[in-house]
């Protein structure tokens, strides 16, 4: 009984000691002599893992020597457990069909471990041969589990093996391929800065510890054109392939270090905004390449969907023009010149295009129907462009550069004299110049479809439009506006400086001309965004 107690206490204490730690307590006299040197596995117990057919698989182990007297020498060896012993100790108790790995599938670096005086630990390595395992696992029943149990055995009578730490039990879970793949198959990127950087990450799959040193490149896919065609076949958006010259590909390699637990790494890719034809949504296909181990399986590529942010176009008043601007003198109503700025009877410079750019809701620009003759007998000019096709009143913006992708914004006025009676209800966005030889409609906007505001002091932002070709001029054309109409006549909502002549200015015996008159409009701010 006393001997048993000594053994339990001693081995428990010794097992708590590290292989390379010297005992701080003098155990001499506490233990019987045969326990002054004890050997055991530092990594004892079960170690279940996957083996990859395309990667080196090694397992390092440590045999420790402990005891009350570190000066004592010891001698032990490493044995592979027999099938009979494996069945007796594991298969039958665990009701698991363990099968000893064939000798051809592994190599043990050494099996003899003599300890000289003062030595407390020695290491060894088991190297598994995946290619040799392929045939072994090919015909393996699902119920069969391959294992390699190793035992440490003392070679002299004075060396004791710790019975609780004398076995390393390697259990092979499965045989598969080691795969390096992107952590995401796709990502979206909005490029708003001159250069936009984004991370691309890749991970070694199905491993917790990196089995080998490994490096790999992230590159522009060699099958880019084919991948783009496949993607566009199933996409609602027709993407363009981003040009290589717009990319800043990383010089840094994806790097994985053997033994580390971090199995994910990333590199940084850049997109130069100025190097991209700015009219499209872009498709960027990436792939993994030039892996330092050619046996590693490289997973599917990554698709990056790139959108370029639309910048606000800096506009100045001299970029605007119109043949429908309100230029009125108190006594004469003869023609019009949209490039002039005059003050009307109300004291409002409502033909000044600078009003559209000043950030104020109290200033605005108005279109206007012009007549000739005396106020009591005005006639419609025969050459009035607003009564021909296309209908409506408009202003033009000369951009001075080509554009294809854009959107607009505008604001209704805050305190115009007709209140909200001149808010646009129908708008055409036309383009000209560049690759367009004639005015072409890109967008049609309606209040009941697109939510055009019909009240004062409201904002509107359109969706993004992409013209078929590049253009240099944009026309904001209104063919419908909001008015207070009664008995076929336009009525001003509240008294104003133009009320006396309201019927003359806005109503005409011609029904078609009266319809055109209804296109008179006012807005306080205008913005254009594009690339």
Give the domain CATH number at 418.
Answer: 2.60.120.260
* Residue for token pair 């051809």: 104
Task: Read off the CATH number of the domain in which 59 is found.
Answer: 2.60.40.1740
Residue 57 pLDDT class (50, 70, 90 cuts): confident
- Total domains, the chain: 3
> Among residues of the chain, what percentage have pLDDT more than 70?
76
Please list the alpha-helical segments (H only) found in 100-186.
130-138
- Split at pLDDT 50, 70, 90, the class of 482 is confident
Burial of 261 (0-12, 13-18, 19+ CB in 10 A): exposed
Reported as a pLDDT band with limits 50, 70 and 90, residue 479 is: confident
Domain boundary (142, 176, 210) is at: 176
How many angstroms separate the CA atoms of 461 and 451, rounded? Answer: 10
Same domain, 493 and 366: yes
Q: Clarify whether residues 295 and 408 are in a common domain.
A: no
- Residue 349 near residue 341, CB atoms below 8 Å: yes
In tens, the pLDDT along 296-335 reads: 999 999 999 999 888 899 999 999 998 776 544 333 333 3
Would you say residue 342 has pLDDT above 70? no
Residues 6 or more apart from 232 whose CB is under 8 A from it? 238, 239, 283
* CA neighbor of 526 nearest in space, from 376, 315, 216, 269: 315
pLDDT at 127: 94
- Reduced to 3 DSSP states, what percent helix, strand and coil does the chain have, rounded to the nearest 5? 15, 40, 40
Over residues 115-128, mean pLDDT: 93
Stretch 409-434: mean pLDDT, rounded?
Answer: 81
pLDDT of the residue at 388: 45
- Nearest Cα residue to 168 out of 88, 94, 108: 108
Of the given ranges (66-70, 448-452, 470-474), which has the lowest mean pLDDT? 66-70
Per this entry, what is the length of the chain? 531
Residues 195 and 91 in one domain: no
Q: What is the pLDDT of residue 70?
A: 79
Q: Is the same domain home to 364 and 468?
A: yes
Q: Which has the minimum average pLDDT: 54-58, 73-77, 337-341, 514-518?
A: 337-341
Examine the domain organization and report whether 288 and 370 are in the same domain. Answer: no
Mean pLDDT of the chain: 81
Checking if the pLDDT of 283 tops 90, the result is: yes
Q: What is the DSSP letter of 246?
A: G
Distance, in Å, from the CA atom of 490 to the CA atom of 98, rounded to the nearest integer, reads: 96
Of the three residues 286, 309, 332, the one that is the final residue of a domain is 309
Tell me what pLDDT residue 376 has.
Answer: 40
**Residue 314: per-residue pLDDT:** 95
Residues 23 and 171 in one domain: yes
Confidence of residue 470 (pLDDT cuts 50, 70, 90): very high
Q: How many CB atoms lie within 10 A of CB 497?
A: 13
Say yes or no to pLDDT of 293 above 60.
yes
What pTM was estimated for this model as a whole?
0.62
More confident call, 244 vs 497: 244
Contact of 271 with 196, CB cutoff 8 Å: yes
State residue 125's pLDDT score. Answer: 95
Higher pLDDT, 116 or 18: 116
Residue 504 confidence (pLDDT) above 60: no
Q: Are residues 66 and 187 in the same domain?
A: no
Q: What is the pLDDT of residue 40?
A: 96
Which has the minimum average pLDDT: 206-210, 257-261, 523-527? 206-210
Are 22 and 163 in the same domain? Answer: yes
Question: Who wins on pLDDT, 231 or 391?
Answer: 231
Please give the Cα distance from 18 to 68 (Å, whole number). Answer: 14
Residue that terminates a domain, selected from 157, 176, 195: 176
Regarding whether 80 and 59 lie in a shared domain, the answer is: yes
Mean pLDDT, range 70-98, rounded to an integer: 95
The boundaries of the domain holding residue 351 are 317-530
The CA distance from 190 to 178, in Å, is 34
394 and 460, same domain (yes or no) = yes
User: Does position 347 have pLDDT exceeding 60, yes or no?
Assistant: no
Round to whole Å and give the CA distance between 326 and 310.
32
For 258, other C-beta atoms within 10 Å of its C-beta total 12
Residues 133 and 214 in one domain: no
- Residue-wise pLDDT for 189-206, tens only, equals 999 888 999 999 999 998
Q: What are phi and psi of 219, to 5 degrees?
A: -135, 165
Is residue 296 within 8 A of residue 266, CB to CB? The reply is no
Cα–Cα dist 377/371, whole Å: 9
State residue 119 phi and psi, 5-degree precision. -75, 135
8 Å CB contact between 212 and 56: yes
List b or e across 30-54, with b for residues whose CB sees 16 or more CB atoms inside 10 angstroms: ebeebbbbbbbbeebeeeebbbbbe
Is residue 516 within 8 A of residue 386, CB to CB? The reply is yes
pLDDT band at 19 (very low <50, low <70, confident <90, very high): low
Residue 432 is predicted with a pLDDT of 96
pLDDT of residue 55: 82
- Give yes or no for residue 279 having a pLDDT over 60: yes
The larger pLDDT score, comparing residue 108 to residue 174, is at 108
For residues 158 and 186, membership in a common domain is answered with: no
């Amino acid at each position: 009984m006393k001997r048993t107690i000594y053994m339990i206490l001693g081995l428990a204490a010794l097992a708590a000691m590290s292989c390379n730690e010297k005992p701080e307590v003098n155990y001499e006299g506490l233990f019987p002599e045969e326990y002054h040197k004890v050997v055991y596995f530092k990594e004892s117990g079960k170690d279940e893992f996957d083996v990859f057919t395309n990667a080196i698989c090694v397992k390092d182990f440590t045999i420790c020597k402990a005891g009350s007297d570190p000066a004592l020498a010891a001698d032990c060896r490493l044995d592979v457990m027999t099938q009979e012993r494996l069945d007796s100790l594991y298969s039958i108790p665990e009701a698991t069909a363990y099968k000893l790995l064939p000798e051809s599938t592994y190599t043990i670096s050494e099996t003899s471990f003599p300890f000289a005086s003062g030595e407390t630990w020695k290491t060894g390595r088991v190297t598994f041969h995946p290619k040799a395992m392929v045939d072994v696992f090919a015909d393996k029943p699902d119920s069969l589990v391959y294992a390699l149990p190793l035992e440490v055995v003392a070679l002299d009578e004075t060396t004791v093996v710790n019975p609780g730490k004398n076995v390393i039990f390697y259990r092979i879970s499965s045989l598969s391929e080691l795969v390096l793949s992107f952590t995401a198959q796709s990502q979206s990127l909005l490029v708003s800065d001159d250069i936009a950087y984004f991370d691309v990450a890749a991970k070694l799959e199905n491993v917790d510890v990196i089995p080998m040193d490994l490096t790999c490149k992230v590159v522009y896919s060699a099958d880019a054109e084919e991948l783009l065609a496949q993607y566009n076949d199933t996409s609602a958006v027709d993407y363009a392939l981003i040009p290589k010259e717009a990319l800043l590909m990383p010089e840094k390699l994806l790097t994985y270090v053997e033994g580390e637990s971090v199995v994910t790494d990333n590199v940084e890719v850049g997109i130069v905004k100025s190097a991209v034809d700015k009219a499209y949504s872009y498709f960027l296909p990436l792939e993994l390449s030039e892996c330092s181990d050619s046996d590693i399986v490289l997973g599917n590529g990554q698709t990056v969907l790139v959108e370029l942010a639309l910048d606000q176009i800096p506009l100045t008043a001299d970029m605007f023009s119109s043949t429908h601007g309100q230029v009125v003198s108190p006594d004469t109503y003869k023609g019009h010149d949209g490039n002039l700025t005059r003050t009307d009877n109300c004291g409002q410079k409502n033909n000044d295009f600078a009003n559209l750019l000043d950030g104020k809701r109290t200033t605005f620009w108005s279109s206007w129907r012009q007549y000739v003759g005396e106020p009591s007998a005005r006639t419609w000019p025969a050459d009035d462009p607003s009564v021909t096709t296309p209908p409506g009143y408009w202003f033009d913006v000369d951009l001075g550069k080509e554009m294809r992708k854009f959107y607009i914004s505008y604001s209704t006025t805050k305190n115009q004299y007709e209140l909200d009676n001149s808010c646009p209800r129908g708008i055409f966005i036309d383009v000209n110049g560049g690759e367009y030889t004639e005015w072409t409609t890109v967008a049609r906007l309606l209040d009941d479809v697109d939510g055009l505001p019909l009240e004062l002091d409201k904002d509107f932002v359109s969706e993004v439009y992409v013209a078929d070709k590049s253009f240099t001029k944009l026309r904001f054309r209104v063919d419908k506006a909001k008015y207070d109409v009664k008995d076929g006549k336009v009525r001003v909502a509240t008294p104003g400086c133009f009320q006396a002549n309201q019927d003359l200015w806005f109503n005409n015996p011609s029904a078609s001309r009266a319809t055109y008159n209804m296109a008179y409009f006012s807005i306080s701010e205008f913005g254009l965004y594009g690339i």
